Amino acid sequence: MKIKLKSVLAGVLALAQSSAIAAIAATAITTTPAPAQAQIAPITELFPVLSGVELTTQQKITLAELASTVQTQFEQIITADQRKQFQAALGQGKGFGEALAATNITPDQQKQLQGVFVSVRTQLVSTFTPAQRQKILENVRSLLQL
């Protein structure tokens, strides 16, 4: 399933209070679950905003763990029907925010999801160096101009 990156990033940035790092967390939600993948995808395929960012082995491990955590939390917050609606909307080319809106999440679910993004954003900020964060921000800006 192809995801329109521009829409995903724009939606995530709006949903997570315009944080470039939050784009990474949301991308984890919209990717295929790891058990369903025949091979592990390159980190820049899972997180396109990391293109050109040199990561340490520990940073790669941390990102993989966070991606799994975010996906698990996302799936625990929304219902099975909402998950199907979300995936269907993504399949129709809708962005992350539009796909999430199509699920008719409750205010409580929205609050829980925002909590997940804030938590992950905090963890991600501490994972990257200032130079890496700058490169990620440049990548986000570039991708949004597509």
Tens digits of residue pLDDT in 16-56: 333 444 445 455 444 444 443 333 456 666 667 888 899 99
- Across the chain, what does the average pLDDT equal? 75
| pLDDT score at 50 | 85
**Whole-prediction pTM value?**
0.62
How confident is the model at residue 117, as a pLDDT?
A: 86
Angstrom CA distances, 146 to 6, 22, 40, 43, 125, stand at: 7, 19, 27, 21, 25
Domain spans, the chain: 5-144
pLDDT band at residue 132 using 50, 70 and 90 as cut-offs: very high
> What is the rounded distance in angstroms from the CA atom of residue 2 to the CA atom of residue 90?
8
| Per-residue pLDDT, 115 | 92
The count of other CB atoms within 10 Å of the CB of residue 16 is: 21
Q: Which two tokens stand for residue 21?
A: 């790092």
CA distances in angstroms from 35 to 32, 38, 41, 58, 83, listed in the order given: 8, 8, 12, 22, 17
pLDDT band at 100; cut points 50, 70, 90: confident
Rounded CA-CA distance 60/82 in Å is: 30
**Is 134's pLDDT higher than 60?**
yes
The pLDDT, as a whole number, for residue 124 is 83
Return the percentage of the chain with pLDDT > 90, whole number.
29
Task: Give the whole-angstrom CA distance, residue 133 versus residue 20.
Answer: 8
- DSSP label of 99: H
pLDDT confidence of residue 44: 67
* pLDDT at residue 90, rounded to an integer: 86
